[in-house]
Amino acid sequence: MSQQSGAPNSRAVGATELSWCRAVPGGTGITVLALLFSKPPDIPFLQSALRRLQSSHPILNSKLRFDSSSGSFSYVTPQSSHLQIRPFDPQSTAQILQSHSSIPPLQLILEHELNNNSWQNPDPSSDADLFLASLYALEGSLWVLALRIHTSVCDRAAASALMSELVALMEEKEENRAESVKENQEMEVSLGIEDCIPSGQGSKPFWARGVDMLGYSLNSFRLANLSFNDTASPRQSRVVRMRMNAEDTGRILSRCNSNEIKLSAALAAAGLISCHASKRFPDEQWEKYAVVTLMDCRSALDPVLSSKHIGFYHSAILHTHDIKGGEDLWELAKRVHSSFVNSKNKNKHFTDMADLNFLMCKAIENPGLTPSSSLRTSLVSVFEDPIFDPPNKLKEALGFEDFIGCASVHGVGPSVAAFDTIRDGELDCAFVYPFPLFSREQMSDFVDGIKGILLQGIA
């Protein structure tokens, strides 16, 4: 960080952050948390609470500065927080909701926010806010608070921590407790993930890097995907939500434990089986699919970062699988899990980070390098571990009813991204996909297939 008297702090974005700065204008990397309340909110308190979060995490208070002469980005952090909640009255909210009366309002507002891209055209004359908040009034005393964040400063673990801190502040108000977010306070915008990789773990010989880059590039032309519905029309992100009761969730997690795999492997395997089955191929017809597994690297960095440390500290491992149909869910899930763990044990989440960032940016610049110029880099992306959301005390006090958290994918990215949460023992998974590249009906069938495969696997 650099600082002059009376001037804001600033630093250049890191390499992974830069790849997100290039991806977000195209539509991938807009993180949204949407919270549903059944009682009128205290707007001044909410704004104060969000500003306290900004003060505790300076990167949320930062603005994104674009230098058109060099094509570079930097974070510029003012000395004081500045967030303003944008209110929508019932009439304005109704206009947003009017086109899809069959879909719950919380999900429609989430989709609206995922496609509200304030970073679409970087302006060198004006710094862009990275953290924004809107409040939507619904009929029947319902309200939705939507937090929209640039993914370069907020990965999924950070979004979960942010949600927990906001809930703690709201509980503090209701119970007049002395607790605050000071224990999580960061004094300045911290370094990017590349600057925190332990010595030696991110290095790769020059020729090995070239071979891996060539392998990734050639493999991409062999990868299969869901059948594309509309490759020409402008795209937006939409969501299909999959929920399971506590009994079924417990049985799935128990089977994962007995097979020594993670839930992410089971979700990915069910996605691969569902995709192959949707094409109704003859028996024994093979296709190769790619899975991207995202992992939170905070505990493996130097210095080790808290799970509540805000920023982007995830890394991706890409692995491919040949599917012929008729696979057993748990056998395939073991293969998916083993492939990921073997790559992780070889530190590929660090050594291949630059390669995957480079290829991501090349796909953005040259969509024709991807099938049908779709910008699809894999069939599905999953997170290594789900978010475990503990019960909170806001339901009675503030009417806190529900929430969904995810990020947009209608630029470069997977065909479907799975954001899984275990809430009160129940699996709640938001599947985000690019529309109309895939239709809502097509994706609903795909997700129904995943759910059916998981339920059949515990029958």
- Do 253 and 426 touch, CB atoms closer than 8 A? no
- Indicate the DSSP class of residue 2: B
* Sheet-wide strand order for 28-37: 85-88, 131-137, 143-150, 28-37, 400-409
pLDDT at position 4 is 44
- Tell me the mean pLDDT in the region 311-333: 94
Q: What does the block give as tokens for 299? A: 């505990």
pLDDT, tens digit, 9 for 90 and up, residues 140-159: 889 999 999 999 999 999 99
Average pLDDT along the chain: 90
Task: List the structure tokens of 443.
Answer: 């994706």
Q: Is the pLDDT of residue 396 over 90?
A: no
436 prior amide bond cis, ω within 30: yes
Helix axes 329-345, 263-278, angle to 10 degrees: 120
Q: pLDDT band at residue 325, thresholds of 50, 70 and 90?
A: confident
- pLDDT tens-digit map of 26-67: 999 999 999 999 988 889 999 999 999 998 999 999 999 999
CA 381 – CA 292 distance, rounded (Å):
5
Sole residue written with tokens 């417990």? 250
Phi (first) and psi of residue 439, to 5 degrees: -80, 160
pTM over 0.85: yes
In contact, 267 and 382? CB cutoff 8 Å: yes
Contact call for residues 127 and 21 (beta carbons, < 8 A): no
Give the pairing type, strands 400-409 and 28-37. antiparallel
Domain ranges of the chain: 9-193, 198-390+408-457
User: For the packed helices 440-457 and 263-278, what is the interaxial angle rounded to 10 degrees?
Assistant: 120
Q: Which two tokens stand for residue 166?
A: 């906001």
DSSP letter assigned to residue 139: T
Question: In this structure, are strands 376-383 and 413-423 parallel, antiparallel, or unpaired?
Answer: parallel
pLDDT of res. 7: 54
Distance CA 371, CA 49 (A): 45
Q: Do residues 146 and 37 make contact, with C-beta atoms less than 8 angstroms apart?
A: no
Q: CA-to-CA distance for 51 and 16, rounded, in angstroms?
A: 27
Q: What's the pLDDT at 203? A: 74
SS3 113: helix
| Topology adopted by domain 9-193 | Chloramphenicol Acetyltransferase (3.30.559)
Report the C-alpha gap between 141 and 180 in whole angstroms: 29
- Mean pLDDT for 78-94 is 91
The DSSP bridge partners found for residue 242 are 429
The predicted model gives 201-219 an average pLDDT of: 63
Q: What's the pLDDT tens digit per position in 336-362? A: 999 999 999 999 999 999 989 988 999
Give how far Cα 128 sits from Cα of 8, 88, 92, 263, Å: 14, 21, 24, 37
Query: CATH 3.30.1360.70: does it fit domain 198-390+408-457?
Result: no
Size of the chain, expressed as the number of residues it contains: 459
β-strands 287-296, 314-323 pairing: antiparallel
DSSP codes, 373-429? G--EEEEEEEESS-EEE---SHHHHH-EEEEEEEEEESSSEEEEEEEEEEETTEEEE
Computed on alpha carbons and rounded to an integer, the radius of gyration of the chain in Å comes to 22
Instruction: For residue 135, list its beta bridge partners.
Output: 87, 145
DSSP H/E element including 341: helix 329-345
Distances from the Cα of 19 to the Cαs of 6, 31, 68, 159, in angstroms? 31, 15, 16, 19
Q: What are phi and psi of 229, to 5 degrees?
A: -95, -45
